[in-house]
Amino acid sequence: MGDSSQLTGWTGLVSGIGHPLLGPDHLLFLLAIAFIGLKRPVAWILPMLAIGLGGSLISQFIPLPDVVAPWAEALVSLSLVVEGLIALSIAPATWLLPLFGLHGFLLGSTIVGAEPTPVLSYFFGLLIGQGVLLALVCSVSQTVISRLGEQGRQLGAGIWIGIGIAFAWVALID
């Protein structure tokens, strides 16, 4: 979020709303939920948001060491691979929940050391940004799946797996 001495509640809120939408790996992670094929996708919104927020809160007490950061970003990218496997029914959908915790942890770790007001407003913004996107994605999920058909869903899963591997590779060699 930048220099913590310059942060206000407003900048924290805007940063929280924008962060998951501006990071391609986090955004693609949220968008992939549309074609995974969750049963009752709307019922997943609150648990996913709660676990993601929990991961962000944990990051305030257990900061991510700098030496681990590239590996953590690679794990976030590999979460796209896991989503592809879930879409192919190779992995269970419940794996989404710990992945949300991982994403939340990394989104929250970017604000370690900030003053309490920007941190709280960042979390609130993060909840708003992810919540709106998840609600949108989950509300169109069944429509997307029916329009894609089985082959389209398999192709989408393959594309997501490829993107996840590419992002992970870049995170590790960069």
Q: Tell me the pLDDT tens digit for each residue of 27-39.
A: 999 998 888 877 8
119 pLDDT band (50/70/90 cuts)? confident
Span 97-123, mean pLDDT? 81
Query: Residue 54 and residue 18: Cα distance in Å, rounded?
Result: 19
Greater pLDDT, 21 or 29: 29
Q: How many residues in the chain?
A: 174
Query: pTM for the whole thing?
Result: 0.85
**Are 117 and 9 in contact, with CB atoms under 8 Å apart?**
yes
Whole-angstrom CA distances from 136 to 34, 55, 145, 161 are 9, 22, 14, 22
Q: Is the pLDDT of residue 148 over 60?
A: yes
Query: Residue 76 and residue 122: Cα distance in Å, rounded?
Result: 20
47 pLDDT band (50/70/90 cuts)? very high
Tokens of 19: 């962060």
Q: What is the pLDDT of residues 48-88, one digit of tens each?
A: 999 999 998 998 898 888 888 889 889 999 999 999 999 99
In the chain, pLDDT over 70 holds for what percent of residues? 92
128: DSSP letter: H
